Structure 1
Amino acid sequence: MSRGSACLAAAVVGAALLTACTTVDAPPPPPSAGAGVADAAPPSVDPSVLPSVDRGGGAMRLADGLAPPTNRWFSGLVFGDAAQPVFPLPLAVGLTASGFAYGLPTVRADGSVLSGSYAPQVQMDLREPVTGVVVAYDAATVTVDLVAGDETVRGRLHLTRGSPVLTYTATTDQDLGLGVAFSAGAAGLPDDVVTAELDERTHALVGAGDLDVADALAGTSLALTAGQTVSWLVAPDPGEGPDGLAELVEATRDPVTGSEVHHETSPEEATTSVTYATVSGGPAVVVRWPHQQQTADAAESCARGTYATVRGTAEVCLTSTLSWRSPVREPAPGLDLSGLDDDERDALADQVRTDAAAVLGDVRPADTYFGGKALARDANLWTLAVELGLDGVAADLHESVAADLRTWAQPDGCVERPERCFTWEPTLRTVVGQATSFGSEEGNDHHFHYGYFLYAAGVAAADDPDLVRDLAPVLDLLAADVAAVSDVPVPDGPPMPGLRVLDVVMGHSWASGQAPFADGNNQESASEAVSAWHGLALWADARVGAGLDDGGLTEQARWMLALEAASARAYWTDFDTSDPATDGLEASVTSLVWDGKRERATWFSAEPSAALGIVVLPVTGVSGYLGEDPDRVRANLGEALGTDDLWEDRSTWDVMFGDQLLMYAAMLGPADAEAALEVARDLPDERIDDGSTRSWLLAWLRAHAG
């Protein structure tokens, strides 16, 4: 079904701030346009070069013409038999059979789990069955129509990512049931605002424009006419703001209508800005997250109170634009081996010859995850061979990697063979490897998988323009699938969504394509997400080196790399353990991050080392971001290995991801890198990850030992 609005402004590169309607109180839905990143035009792509294979994506609660929002924080609203709760945060929201509900999650620590699950506190009843249909979305807002059985839209729910405000517009005359009693007369608030005290927290119900909510309220029933808008604001813990809750209530009268993203990078930092449009142009009530602490105007705009969340303590701000800075991570193919002496180079060269013989004598996997990892592994091995002057070995490795990349990048490959090729999935508007893995046919983990391909191509084709041109039609599609800056028009249907996996507000990606979970979406291997944008940057550089127009991809990739690395530290490996919101959490690493919880756990193993290893791998030249707090590195390793003395017993490292953890330990400094070298030489072969080699392990450690 398709719903339109006569009040939408024109889009800029697929998304723009909205021009407010001045004749009604209702905020219009924003256009669906990916992340709404302005002033960018990525390389053009054509999915029709791939064979189309419909894998049965299932019914979607989504308006016609919109890009299917896989890998979003709100994907659970769209996919699956029934809508899942979603977490705009700090609120959690759920659709019901006859309306919607919200609650402010109570954050609790239980061992290695920090939970803040959905628990409805206020339920709104339309008094008839309705189905929620997503009709618009952008970087920070989602609009859901509540559709009755006769196809009439009864109301419109508007969610804003990172806001304690929930907005609803009646599209027919109605008496909306509130579920709990609200009343006027709260101290310090205007008479037309009603409140309820729930769990020792004030919930304010505010009308937009000149709507007097107190006058429209009769018991637990709110009389609304078509076009009228109300918003619920859950009060924060007290802050330092001059007017407290009253100031936030006044801002809530001016509902958010949409958002837009801008970014820019310098050699030192990347700046991200999310601008919130409101009906009347006033500031929005939003929160500042731990990864956004480098905020330009925090002193002026924030300090309006706080919320305890599973991400840590979030500070309330009144602002139209929230901007923050993240350290830039410059792409780094290969390793610097200039510090090795002749004996060390000879020993490493012997290992490279051994590993090259092994990988060249084997067949790489046929699925996109393990196949991509193997290509990235062998591209790294090639860089070592080049650096060590092993011309014959280097030539054989490059020929092998290039040949496999060309096989994967053959547009009609899936017409000729059953694997090592890509197809176009027309329902989800996504690219899928013919041999699937980890639910890739549902949109799962595409940035992990395709990041390895982009990395391998960016490394192997850096000085090979012919290889770049041969790979570009399909490699550009892989890049667009996970990172197109705005919606990509596709013939015969909706577009590919822009920034499919990146949650710009939270600064990190989401791995589940359809998020069929009550705790929202999730991402486990934040380090593989960082690796994906590292690969994107290297591929962008290779394209430029081959004389191809990158359309801003070079800068965009560095922005995404900076953003993801900062959030990986803020929520996975280096979060503030002294934050009161995490009080009681018995984990130094939370390896599985959801909107409704964070936990030290993995999807695949209960081994303690797995929880750290999965957020370290793959170790590449850009992985230094993980080692910027040596004390935390040591604490994380102690937790993963179950010891405070890392080097007392070499068998300590005979664990899953032992090689990755040794490389992580080398970030502690030269002495620890030397100790890691002693262990690494005898580490059992089965402890070398399939995305790495002993050569890479030893080279990394030797480079860090000095």
Structure 2
Amino acid sequence: MSSDTDRPGRAGSLPPHRTVYSPHVLVFGVVVALLGTVLAVFTPHTASAATVGRGSYTTQPPGPLPSGCADLSTNPRHWVTANAPSGAVPTNDWWSSILWKRTDCAYGEPLFAQPLGFRARSGGLGFSYSTTPAISGGAKGVGEYHFNYTEDFVAGVAGLGAPEVKVDDWSDWTVSPVLSDGTHTLRATIGSGLPFAYFRATGGDAQIKVASGATATVWSRSGAMLGYTVAGHDYVAFAPSGATWSVDGSGTTFTSSLAGKDYFSVAVLPTTPSTSAADRDALADEYAKYAYDHVTGTTVSYTYDEASSTVTTKYGFTTTALEGTGRATVAALMPHQWRNLAGGSPLPQEYVSSRGPLKVLTGTTSFTTSMVFHGVLPEVPAVADSSGADATTLQNYLDAEKADPARQQSDDTYWTGKGLGRAARLAEIADQTGNTDVRDAALAAIKSKLTDWFTASQNETGHLFYYDDKWGTLIGYPASYGSDQELNDHHFHYGYYIAAAATLAKFDPAWASSSQYGGMVDLLIRDADNYDRADKRFPYLRDFDVYSGHDWASGHGSFAAGNNQESSSEGMNFDNALIQWGIATGDRAVRDAGIYMYTTQAAAVQDYWFDTKDEIYPSGFPHKEVGMVWGNGGAYSTWFSGAPEQIQGINLLPVTGGHLYLGDDPAYVKANYQEMLDQSGRTRPAIWTDIWYEYLALGDGDAALADFRADNGFTSEEGESKAHTFHWIRNLAALGTVDTSVTADSPLAAVFVKSGRRTYVAANVTADDTSVHFSDGTTVPVPAGRTVASGAQNWSGGTATGGTRPSPSPTGSDSTSPSPSPSDSPSPSDSPSPSPSPSDTAGSSPTLYLRTDGTLAGTPGGDGSVTVPSAGGTNHDGTPYQPVTMTGKGLNLKYDGAATTFDLSVDAKQAVGNGVQLRVSYDCTGDGSWDRVETYRYFATDPITGWEHYADNQGLLSSQGTMCTSLTGGTVRAEVWNAIGDNPGTLGTGSLSVLRLPFA
């Protein structure tokens, strides 16, 4: 059975690219029979294992590889030119089908870039600006809308007859397809949010040929500029200065010799049939200012400001001026971008798109968005579970899970992940409520399963990961739902593994260390969404579309409707997993990457999956939610079921403390819940009842609890348990709904409100006491390892203290600090990532970076390392011996009453018995005398190559003097030396090692 690419998302058409919930889908067995298999066929073999700490992966394929036309399985660069970037090829993108061909082996499928759609042709590149949606289905049942590819014209080269399309270049949201027949060549650059397409043409005249059966009206023909209308859409073509356009007798073919040059561009204008000719001409003139500044690259960068809980994202354009000296361009912003735009004034005109109205910025080289991150929790707090009948009920539910906390349905990567997620929820709840037996059983199950999967050297026929250096991917076997042959759903599957590992790390930090299994977790993170641009073994943010603001699930995207994603909530589960893992292990780069994707995708989900503001879906589409988002639309359907509970519910699971965003709009929650009931014709959900009650609790906890008490005989969804369902609903009924008007200076925090009274919740998974500050002035002290609720509800519980405080965020664009790095290739790279350096002075920054030039500065500069001399076999504990010294001068700061903190990247390579130590000295006025000297306990480094984190949680060994009340032209010095050991060590510099002064 082949997929129905003309009607994507139709119930029953099943490219194995999303989860099939076999207990509920009667057609599953039929589908498997027709497809041959949904799960990957596993071939026994002897694995060749490469080690990562105690973990390992195989470098020999144990099962099916990515498949497609020609020799793609072993040569993913078959349709990539020699000019294209080196490293792993991107997959899971809006343009993937022209690189990874599966259906059309010559030209791929339509590409939907918003506002334009494109399709490669023998004679050039086809254009579509679709403004009229095709809507199917009625008010009930399966329905969908698509702005289908409808060709207006083909831009190409006269005489071009290219047998195929190749990819010549790509950047964060652009691609450059190239068509050539050996004599004629057309190279284009197209991108998301670009109203322009840019061309280089050789071997003949530039040609624009109107689609067969269509007519064109030329409304402007002024030298190098040609304005024309096709199917009600206004376009402008720009040839080089001095060139002209000719129009054939039929008025359907336009050509230009380009005045002997090789470039031209075509733009679509944001006009409507009611736009006046004068306004249209004015728009054409405005666009003409940027027609020769060809976009040649795009880059996203982001920062997370902990104090304000704000994610700032910069979208930058690289342009090449083919005429003049211009650098600016035109950008069409998607709703999740323009709603959060920080600066800039869009034009009044808008583009129509499948993502709703696109607003236009002209004359821009970049634009920036600012979004509030509302926080996540390891789990909702047990404010209502401490005593009484409900407490007994919960403990009975927990005790029933002790024998098999993971309880998985199948043995592949997806169902193993679901089981791990189930066990993680049970571990968190059991820890909160003091049920150590169930907690330890759940943690043991997680540890056993993860260790098994992360140790390929012990597994020859299953439960292992394989790294393919040609595709640049890590595939788990047995695979499922196309995660091997189509590279589908890696973020869905691996998010569960990473989230469970984060829970385990809080109780067993040794297991999560780079010397044991932390490196394998990092490889899973990098495979699905590599956060380190310097690491070329995996594509940068594989699954995450930085411009669209959300993931794409299909590796190849070979569908007539473009790429697609069904379970946005499982994508958010991956993002939350990165936040939890990054905090639990002290890996700031992972934490911040998770926060960036989580915050951005939460905004995209509210618009494109839920349309909570009722501004995205076309009029006439009757639903409040789509089960699937496609490149050109959305569908009230799934790959696996036509039941409303599952069509809408697939964007709700798994329900975790990282999914509080689902409750940002309580009124929408209740309306969406009601639509599910209306669509199903029931008064209560009959499928995934627990998921729906948990969702309803985010909008109305009391109603959800009443429903649960009246109806709790349901079978739990495969990743759920009665214990978690009851815990979630019972406590949200006490807490109320999410209050997004208040933020916190900690990622692990949330605010709830009920009857006008707020409860402030914060979790601390580190070994140090802390305080969390909320934006309304509330401060909540949070002891080490505890979750605290304060306000309308008061409670404290939990014992997890395995975490390490993340190092402070560097000033700059991209969060790319490397995590601890195993030694075996392809393990996470030891090579540091470049860091921005707008200033090299300490000045008034309390955050100082240890730099290779011997300075402490407020910006990291370039990352690198310095050698820390050997202790010479003599004990120098507490006394600097041949120290590496870094000094910051001219500091002007006021003491804030806190303590010095630091996070240094150190590595003794394979040396045994080394211990590195730090002393920090303060000179309040820079007069040359040290007023305060702090010496910290040394850190025993391990004999495994890879960065370790030496942090202030080692404890203070000694101190002399009184801390300055202020630094006035002050000086701070950091001395690092080996207190013990016979061998030299290495100290990371730049963003790898940071010192935070207790000053503001």
TM-score (normalised: structure 2): 0.60
Indicate conservation of the 8 Å contact 1:88/1:162, yes or no. yes
Question: Distance in 2 between the 1:48 and 1:120 partners?
Answer: 50
More strand as a share of residues = 2
Indicate conservation of the 8 Å contact 1:337/1:387, yes or no. yes
User: How is 1:682-697 mapped onto 2 (pairs within 5 angstroms)?
Assistant: 682-685=712-715, 688-697=716-725
Moved more, 174-183 or 612-621: 174-183
Indicate conservation of the 8 Å contact 2:408/2:418, yes or no. no
User: How is 1:88-487 mapped onto 2 (pairs within 5 angstroms)?
Assistant: 88-108=113-133, 109-111=135-137, 112-126=143-157, 127-130=159-162, 131-148=164-181, 150=182, 154-174=185-205, 176=207, 178-179=209-210, 186=220, 191-208=223-240, 210=241, 212-214=243-245, 220-224=254-258, 228-237=262-271, 243-267=282-306, 268-280=309-321, 281-297=326-342, 300-318=344-362, 319-343=364-388, 344-359=390-405, 365-413=410-458, 416-441=459-484, 442-469=486-513, 470-487=516-533
Change (3 A) 1:212 1:524: same
Does the residue aligned with 1:258 lie in a helix, a strand or coil? Answer: strand
Report what 2:943 is aligned to.
none
Q: Which of the residues 67, 80, 89 maps onto 1:57?
A: 67
Residue type of the partner of 2:499?
Answer: Y
Q: CA deviation at 1:49?
A: 4.7
Q: CA deviation at 1:365?
A: 3.5
Indicate conservation of the 8 Å contact 2:578/2:593, yes or no. no
Q: CA deviation at 1:45?
A: 8.3
Q: CA deviation at 1:643?
A: 7.2
Residue type of the partner of 1:473?
Answer: G
Residue type of the partner of 1:95?
Answer: A
Report what 2:972 is aligned to.
none
Question: Distance in 2 between the 1:242 and 1:174 partners?
Answer: 26
Question: Distance in 1 between the 2:98 and 2:532 partners?
Answer: 21
Indicate conservation of the 8 Å contact 2:247/2:254, yes or no. no
Percent identity of paired positions between Structure 1 and Structure 2: 25
Residue type of the partner of 1:74?
Answer: W
Q: CA deviation at 1:51?
A: 2.4
Question: Distance in 2 between the 1:213 and 1:482 partners?
Answer: 48
Indicate conservation of the 8 Å contact 1:184/1:195, yes or no. yes
Change (3 A) 1:519 1:177: same
- Give deviations 1:643-663, integer Å, cap 9, x for gaps: 79xxxx9x7334222211111
Indicate conservation of the 8 Å contact 1:156/1:170, yes or no. yes
- Give deviations 1:410-450, integer Å, cap 9, x for gaps: 1434xx33222111134422111110101001210000000
Q: CA deviation at 1:392?
A: 1.9
Change (3 A) 1:606 1:212: same
Report what 1:605 is aligned to.
641
Q: CA deviation at 1:358?
A: 4.3
- Give deviations 1:232-276, integer Å, cap 9, x for gaps: 111113699994332123222322111111111124221211111
Indicate conservation of the 8 Å contact 1:182/1:220, yes or no. no
Report what 1:572 is aligned to.
609
Q: CA deviation at 1:307?
A: 1.4
Residue type of the partner of 1:631?
Answer: A
Change (3 A) 1:237 1:385: same
Report what 1:77 is aligned to.
98
Asked if residue 661 in structure 1 is aligned to residue 692 in structure 2, the reply is: yes
Report what 2:858 is aligned to.
none
RMSD: 2.8
Q: CA deviation at 1:486?
A: 4.2
Question: Distance in 2 between the 1:500 and 1:611 partners?
Answer: 26
More helix as a share of residues = 1
Change (3 A) 1:527 1:56: closer
Report what 1:29 is aligned to.
none
Indicate conservation of the 8 Å contact 2:409/2:718, yes or no. no
Q: CA deviation at 1:162?
A: 0.8
Report what 1:38 is aligned to.
none
Question: Distance in 2 between the 1:669 and 1:84 partners?
Answer: 44
Q: CA deviation at 1:667?
A: 1.0
- Give deviations 1:342-379, integer Å, cap 9, x for gaps: 0122220111101233437x567321111011011101
Does the residue aligned with 1:516 lie in a helix, a strand or coil? Answer: coil
Report what 2:628 is aligned to.
592
Q: CA deviation at 1:673?
A: 3.2
Indicate conservation of the 8 Å contact 2:217/2:230, yes or no. no
Residue type of the partner of 2:365?
Answer: S
Does the residue aligned with 1:357 lie in a helix, a strand or coil? Answer: coil
Residue type of the partner of 2:645?
Answer: S
Indicate conservation of the 8 Å contact 2:408/2:415, yes or no. no
Moved more, 195-204 or 555-564: 195-204
Change (3 A) 1:379 1:452: same
Question: Distance in 2 between the 1:664 and 1:398 partners?
Answer: 26
Q: CA deviation at 1:214?
A: 3.1
Question: Distance in 1 between the 2:460 and 2:409 partners?
Answer: 16
Residue type of the partner of 1:201?
Answer: H
Report what 2:878 is aligned to.
none
Does the residue aligned with 1:355 lie in a helix, a strand or coil? Answer: coil
Indicate conservation of the 8 Å contact 2:342/2:369, yes or no. no
Indicate conservation of the 8 Å contact 2:549/2:601, yes or no. yes
Question: Distance in 2 between the 1:175 and 1:352 partners?
Answer: 70
Question: Distance in 2 between the 1:331 and 1:213 partners?
Answer: 58
Moved more, 219-228 or 345-354: 219-228
Does the residue aligned with 1:552 lie in a helix, a strand or coil? Answer: helix
Question: Distance in 2 between the 1:154 and 1:226 partners?
Answer: 15
Q: Which of the residues 667, 670, 674 maps onto 1:631?
A: 667
Indicate conservation of the 8 Å contact 2:56/2:454, yes or no. no
Question: Distance in 2 between the 1:382 and 1:563 partners?
Answer: 29
Report what 1:14 is aligned to.
none
Does the residue aligned with 2:420 lie in a helix, a strand or coil? Answer: helix
- Give deviations 1:86-108, integer Å, cap 9, x for gaps: 01110000001232211101332
Name stretches of at least 5 consecutive residues in structure 2 with no aligned partner.
1-50, 73-77, 138-142, 735-1000
Does the residue aligned with 1:245 lie in a helix, a strand or coil? Answer: helix
Report what 1:502 is aligned to.
544
Indicate conservation of the 8 Å contact 2:160/2:185, yes or no. no
Does the residue aligned with 2:401 lie in a helix, a strand or coil? Answer: helix
Q: CA deviation at 1:677?
A: 2.9
Change (3 A) 1:128 1:578: closer
Indicate conservation of the 8 Å contact 2:128/2:152, yes or no. yes
- Greater RCO, 1 or 2 (C-alpha within 8 Å, sep 6+): 1
Q: CA deviation at 1:216?
A: 10
Change (3 A) 1:389 1:295: closer
For the pair shown, the structure with the greater C-alpha radius of gyration is: 2
Question: Distance in 1 between the 2:662 and 2:246 partners?
Answer: 56
Indicate conservation of the 8 Å contact 1:634/1:665, yes or no. yes
- Number of corresponding residues: 636
- Give deviations 1:285-317, integer Å, cap 9, x for gaps: 11121111334456x431241111111111121
Q: CA deviation at 1:327?
A: 2.6
Question: Distance in 1 between the 2:393 and 2:335 partners?
Answer: 45
Does the residue aligned with 1:582 lie in a helix, a strand or coil? Answer: coil
